């Protein structure tokens, strides 16, 4: 059985501090992919309200929304997460305005990594919504900012490329 922690992938999570116990308890909650969406969504939503600065909880929520087919809500939350990660990291939320040679992207951590990860998620959700052009646009920006593929954007970009080739055929 999955646990909520499986929604976080490789994002850094708090190991100590006031939020750590609450987040770790949430992470260990079981996630029933067939019947437990409502319960898990409520757990994550409660944690998001209790700890609004912890954007990792937004990641878990937008993944849950995407997995359950609520793609419009997932995209809106990804957009909010991009805005908040950029604000917390002190950079522009528009990826087209960011410089690829900025040192923050070379070994992305914290809010910088969360921003890149959320760009990947945006590409994925746009693909699922049938917005191939929008997905390709954001994935191209991600590849420019993350040429080392730290967040695995190339997997989603490869999927987009295969879809483009299928459309062209």
Could you read off the pLDDT of 125-169 as tens digits, one per residue?
999 999 999 999 999 999 999 999 999 999 999 999 998 888 887
Tokens of 156: 């989603």
pLDDT for position 169: 79
CA nearest neighbour of 61 among 26, 96, 112: 26
Query: Using an 8 Å Cβ cutoff, are 99 and 118 in contact?
Result: no
What's this model's pTM, rounded to 2 decimal places? 0.84
pLDDT for position 40: 78
pLDDT for position 72: 98
Say whether pLDDT at 47 is over 90. Answer: no
| Structural domain spans, the chain | 1-68, 72-169
Tokens of 32: 């029933």
CB neighbourhood size of 69 (10 A) = 11
């Amino acid at each position: 059985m999955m646990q909520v922690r499986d929604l976080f992938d490789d994002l850094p999570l708090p190991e100590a501090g006031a939020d750590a116990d609450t987040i770790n308890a949430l992470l260990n909650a079981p996630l029933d992919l067939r019947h437990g969406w409502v319960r898990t969504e409520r757990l994550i939503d409660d944690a998001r309200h209790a700890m609004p600065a912890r954007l990792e909880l937004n990641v878990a929520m937008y993944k849950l929304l995407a997995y359950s087919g609520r793609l419009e809500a997932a995209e809106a939350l990804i957009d909010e997460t991009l805005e908040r990660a950029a604000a917390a990291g002190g950079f522009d939320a528009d990826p087209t305005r960011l410089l690829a040679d900025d040192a923050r992207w070379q070994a992305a951590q914290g809010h910088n990594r969360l921003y890149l990860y959320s760009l990947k998620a945006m590409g994925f959700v746009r693909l699922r919504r049938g917005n191939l052009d929008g997905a390709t646009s954001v994935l191209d920006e991600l590849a420019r900012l993350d040429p080392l593929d730290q967040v695995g954007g190339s997997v989603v970009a490869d999927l987009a490329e295969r879809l483009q080739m299928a459309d062209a055929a």
